[in-house]
Chains A and B, each alone.
Chain A
Amino acid sequence: MTTLHITTDADGIATFLIDMPERGQNVLTPAFHADLARAIDRLCADDGLIGAILTSARPSGFMAGADLREILPLMEAGLTPAAAAAWVRPGSALFRRLESCGKPVVAALNGLALGGGFELALACHRRILVDRPDAIVGLPEVTLGLLPGAGGTQRLPRLIGIEKALPLLLEGRSVGPAEALRLGLVDALAAPEALLDAARDWLRARPPARAPWDEKGFRVPGGAGPLAPHAPRTFQAGTARLKATRSCYPAPRAILSAVYEGTQVPIDTGLRIESAYFGHLMAGPVAANLVRSFLRRGEARRRAAFGTARASGLAVRRLGVLGAGMMGAGLANVAAGAGLDVTLLDRTAEAAGKGLAHARGQRERDVARGLLPAGKAEALLGRIHPTDRTADLAGADLIIEAVFENRAVKTEIIAATAPLLADSGLFASNTSTLPISSLATAAPRPERFIGLHFFSPVERMPLVEVIVGRATADQSVADALAFVSRLGKVPIVVHDSPGFYTSRVFCTYIDEAMAMLAEGVAPALIENAARMLGFPAPPLAVTDEVSLDLQQLVIDQARADGLDARFLRGAAAPVVARMVALGRLGRKSGAGFYDYAADGSKRLWPGLAELWPVAAHQPAVEEVGRRLLFIQALESARCLAEGVIDDAATADLGSVLGIGFPAWTGGALSVIPTVGRDVFLAACARFAATAGARFEGAPALLADIPGSAGPRRAA
C-alpha cells in the first residue's frame, strides 16, 4: 500500500494511517481507494481485530477532497452524466462498505477534513476532531459546481437534520471545532495529544458498528419529505431563494433535490440518487468552469515569473503609498495585513491620518466579528505610518501612487518620489485610465515602472491588473507578480493599452446596455436580463454607480488623445451625452438612469421612455442577455488578438474577479465554449446585422482562441 499504513495493537485495534507524503495534503485518489478497500478487507477478515481508527500521518490535516487536477481533464474531455455517475459510484460504494463492514471505525481527525475527506469521516461510526483552530470540516463541493458525491448529501442530513445540513451543503461553508461539535458534525473534540487515546477508548468499549440510519425505525432528525414541518422553509422557500439568486448554478439545486429525494428512502437508494445528480453536475459545463477557475486562481497566485525573469530581486519590506483616499488607505490596510511596513503619504498630516482611520475602522469591524484578535489588529495598524513628509518614503522597496486620476498631478508626484526608492525599488501607478508607458517617462528608471491596478474596495476585491508599459522590464513584472501574490491577491498581466483589460471590457457591458436603451429595449428588460445571467449589478444601475459624467470624461479624453474609433464608445456616447446634459449623472447626483429616494431605494426613471421610446416589439430576454455576455467575450477576444493580454486565462480571471462577469460561464472567453461556439457565432452574426458593426469579425477572432471550439453546451 502506498497511501495508507496499517498497524495493530494488543487490544485488537487497527490504525489506518493515511499518508501521501508526495503531496501537500492527503487527497482522494484511485490509489487511496484501492488501499482503503484492502484495509477494509483486512479489518473484516481478521477475527483478532475489534475495530479501526482512521487517521492521517500528515500535519497538514486529515484529508482534503478529491484531486481537482485529476478531475478537470475528465470534465473537459466531455463525459455523459451516466459516465460521470459511474465515475463517482465506486468511491461512494467503498465508503458504504466501510460503514457497513460490521466493525466499528472511528475517524480521528487530526486536522482539516474537507469535501471527500469529510465524507470519508461521515462514513465512519464516530468522529473525533482535534481541537485546533485550523482543524476545519465541511463540504465545499458546491463552490466548485459539484455536490458531495460520496454520501455527503445523504449522511449529513441524516446525522444532524435537514434544516441544519442544508446551509452547510448549499453554501459550502466550513466550520471550526467548536461549531462542528455544536452542529453535530463531529461527536467529540480532543486535544492533539489525546486524540488517538480518545479514539482507542471509544473502541475498547466495543461500540455498535452500525450507522444510526441502518437501525430499524430510523427517522431523519426533524423529519424528511414534503410533510416535514420544515419543508415550507427548507424545500419550498429554499427552492425559490436558490432560483432567485443562483439560477445559473445547477449545483445548489441538485443538492437540494438530492437531499429532498434521498432522505425519504433507505440510504442505499439515497446514495444512488445522489450519484445520479452528481453525474449531471460533473458532465455539465458549469462545474468544469468553476473548477478551472479555481485552479487558475491558484496558478495566478503562485506565478512569479515573466518572460525570462523570475521574482527574486525585490523582497518588499517597506511600501510607500501615495494618496490616503479610499484606494490608498485600502492598499495600506491590506499591505499592513500582509506584514509590510507602510508609509502612507498625503498632502496633509490630517489627510494621511484619515487613511489610517479607515484602516482602523475596517480592522475594528473584523475584531468585532471575531475574525481578528484585537492584539493582532493593533500590531497590524502599527505598521501603517501616515505622513505628509515626502522624505519619509526614502528607501522604500515599492511605491504605489494612488493619487487623483489626473496626468499632471500624477506626473508631478512620480517625479518627486520615484528617486527616493531603494536601489532595486519598483514604482507602480494605480491608474485605471492613463497609459503606463507615458507616466513612466516621469520616473528616473522607466524599466522599474509598472501599473498595479487594484479594485475598490481593496480589502474585498481579489484582482490586480499588472500593467506592463513599453519600457517595463520583465524583472519588474515578475517582482510585481510576487508582490501581488504576497497581498493574497490574484494578479493578471495586461499590456499597456487604453482601458487596459478590465475597464475596456466593462465599458462594452454598460455601453451595450445604453445602445439597447437607445434602440428602444425596455430598461427593465435590460436590467433583468443581466440579473438572470448572474451579473452582480445590472448595467444601467452600475453605470449610475460609476457615474455618467465619468463616462463623458473618458470619452472626451479618448477623443482628445486621438484614439482609434473603437475606443470612442460610439454606441453609448449619445446616451451618455444626453444624460449628462440633463444633469442626471448617476447615484451621486440622486438621478441617473434611476431615481434615488431618500430612503436609499431606487426606481428606473420613467423619463427614459420619453428620451428613448420603448419599442412595440421587444426582444426575448435571452437575446438581451446574449448581447451583454457576448459583446464582452468579443472584446476579450480582440484584447487577445491585439496582444493586450497573453492568454485566455487572463481574460477569464480578469472578467470574473474584476468586473463581475458571471462565474458560471468560466469567464469572458470560456463563455464561448460554454454556450457553444456555433450558438455564439450565430448570435454575433445576428447582432452584427441588427445592432452594429461591433459584433462583426467573430469567426476570425475565435480561430485564434484555443479551446473555443470545445464541444460543450449550456443547459
Chain B
Amino acid sequence: MAEALIYDHVRTPRGRGRTDGALHGVAPIQLTTRVLEALRDRNGLDTGLVDDVVLGVVSPVGEQGCNMARIAALQAGYAETVTGLQINRFCASGLEAVNLAGARVKAGEAEAMIAGGTESMSRVPIFSDGGACYSDPRSNWDTWYIPQGIGADLIATMDGYDRETVDRYALESQNRAARAWDEGWFERSVVPVRDSLGETLLARDEHLRPGTSLADLARLKPAFADMGARDGLDAVMLQRYPEVERISHVHTGGNSSGIVDGAAAILIGTPDFGAASGLKPRARIRAAGNIGSEPAIMLTGPAPVTGKVLARAGMTIDDIDLFEVNEAFAAVVLRYMRAFDLPPDRVNVAGGAIAMGHPLGATGAILIGTLLDELERRDLSTGLVTLCAAAGMAIAMVIERV
C-alpha cells in the first residue's frame, strides 16, 4: 500500500463570524479559492498532477451549497482534470476530508489530493441547512437531539468541572494563542485574505481576546441555562442520564469555541508525486478513524476514537508527543486529558478554538496544520488530532514527521 504523505498546508486567518467580522464581505467560495491558490503558488504545484479536492462544509446550503470544491478549483485556475467533492461529517468534516484524501492515496486510487474545509459562519449560519435531526419531530425525538452546549454542561456536571475550572482552561487557550501569534508560530501557514484591489482584509485570527482575565470570563452568562429550562432540554437530557439530579450550566461564550469564518487546505500525495513535483514530504498519515458515541451528550467520542485509532496503529497514548483536541467546549478537552492522564503542556499547545474560533467544516484541517507546524518547531515526531462531532461522532488521526 502506498504511503499518504503531507506536503504542505495553508489556512486563512479566522474572522469573527458576525456581520462586523473582517471576512464577512468575502464569499465562502472565495475563501476556498484563496487557499487553493496559495497552496499551488507557494509550492509551484503542477495542478495537473492533482486528482481531486475534498472539502468539508457543515452548512452546505446557499452559497456553501452545490459543490464548492470543484468550483473553487476551476476558479483558482486548477487544471480542468481536477475534480471536487464536498462532504459533511459535522465538526469532523475538515479532518474527514484529510482522512478520505489520505485513504484514496493509500489505496492507490489517487496520486495527489487536496483536502480541506471552508465555513463562513457569518454568511451561512449554523443550522441553515435545517436537518431532520433538528426539525423532524420523529428524528429529533428518536435520536436524542439536544443542543451540544447542554451536553458540554452535562460533561462538566458529571466530571465535576466547576465554572472556575472551565474558565481557567479558556484563559489558558487565550494565553497560548496570543503567545503563538506574538512569537510567529502561525506565520508560516496563515495566508492573508485580500480584496480584489489586493488590500489585506485580514492577516491574523480576529476572534482572540488577548488580555482576557479570569474575572472577565466569570462575568459571562451561562449560554445554555435558559434554553435548557425553557425548552425542557435539561429534562430531556436527564431522561438519558437519570442518575444526575440537575445540570450545572458552566459553559459560556468565553469557554466555548468561537463562531468564525475561515478555510484551510492540505496537499497530500504519494512519494512518487513528491518526487515528480520536487516537493519534500513533511509528515505521513499513520492512522485515522471515526467512532459513534452516545448521541444525547454528543461530545464524548474523542477518548474512545483515540483508543480505537491507536489500537489500529499498534500504538499507545505514550507514543504521541502532541495532541490537538478541538476546543468545542472546555469540558470536552478537560475530559480528554483526564481520560488519558495527559499533562496540559502536550495538549493544544498553541491555543485552540476557544481563543481562535471553530469554522466548522475547516477546523479539522486547520488542526492538522497547527499540529504539524508545532511538531516541526519543537522537533517532535508524532501527533494526534481529534474532534467531537454532532449526533455523537468523533474522529481522530495520527500523523508523524518524515
Contact = CB atoms under 8 A, between A and B. Distances in A.
Interface of A: 225-227, 231-232, 235-245, 247, 253, 256-257, 260-261, 522-525, 527-529, 531-532, 603-604, 618, 621
Contact of B135 (A235, A242, A528, A529): A235
A701 B147 CA distance: 47
B214 interface: no
Contact of A235 (B137, B232, B235, B246): B137
B244 A240 contact: no
A253 B138 CA distance: 8
Contacts of B246: 603
- Rank and list the top 10 A-B pairs by shortest CB-CB distance, nearest first: A244-B232, A226-B130, A528-B242, A226-B135, A244-B235, A524-B245, A237-B231, A256-B137, A621-B242, A239-B140
B316 interface: no
Contacts of A241: 231-232
B140 A532 contact: no
A386 B232 CA distance: 45
B239 interface: yes
A604 B140 CA distance: 31
B132 A238 contact: no
14 contacts: A225-B135, A227-B130, A232-B127, A232-B135, A235-B135, A238-B137, A240-B232, A240-B233, A240-B236, A243-B235, A253-B141, A524-B244, A527-B245, A621-B242
Interface string B102-137: 000000000000000000000000010011101111
Interface string B216-252: 0000000000010011110110110011111000000
Contacts of A522: 243
Interface string B328-363: 000000000000000000000000000000000000
A232 B239 contact: no
A527 B233 CA distance: 17
Contacts of A240: 140, 146, 231-233, 236
A525 B231 contact: no
B242 A243 contact: no
Contacts of A529: 242
Interface string B246-275: 100000000000000000000000000000
Interface string B52-67: 0000000000000000
A100 to B, nearest CB: 29
B193 to A, nearest CB: 30
A528 B140 contact: no
B151 to A, nearest CB: 13
A232 B127 CA distance: 9
Contacts of A531: 235, 238
Q: Kindly name the residue among A236, A237, A523, A524 whose own CB sees the greatest number of chain B CB atoms within 10 A.
A: A236
Contact of B236 (A243, A524, A525): A243
A239 B141 contact: yes
A251 to B, nearest CB: 12
B30 to A, nearest CB: 25
A80 to B, nearest CB: 20
A323 to B, nearest CB: 39
Nearest to A618: B243
A319 B210 CA distance: 77
A524 B135 contact: no
A238 B135 CA distance: 9
A534 to B, nearest CB: 12
Q: Kindly name the residue among A238, A240, A527 whose own CB sees the greatest number of chain B CB atoms within 10 A.
A: A240
Given A231-B130, A240-B232, A244-B232, A260 B239 contact: no
A415 B135 CA distance: 66
Nearest to B61: A227
Given A239-B145, A240-B233, A256-B137, 14 more contacts: A232-B127, A232-B134, A236-B134, A236-B145, A242-B141, A243-B235, A244-B231, A253-B137, A525-B242, A527-B245, A528-B238, A528-B244, A528-B245, A618-B243
B282 to A, nearest CB: 42
A626 to B, nearest CB: 14
B127 to A, nearest CB: 7
Interface in B309-337: none
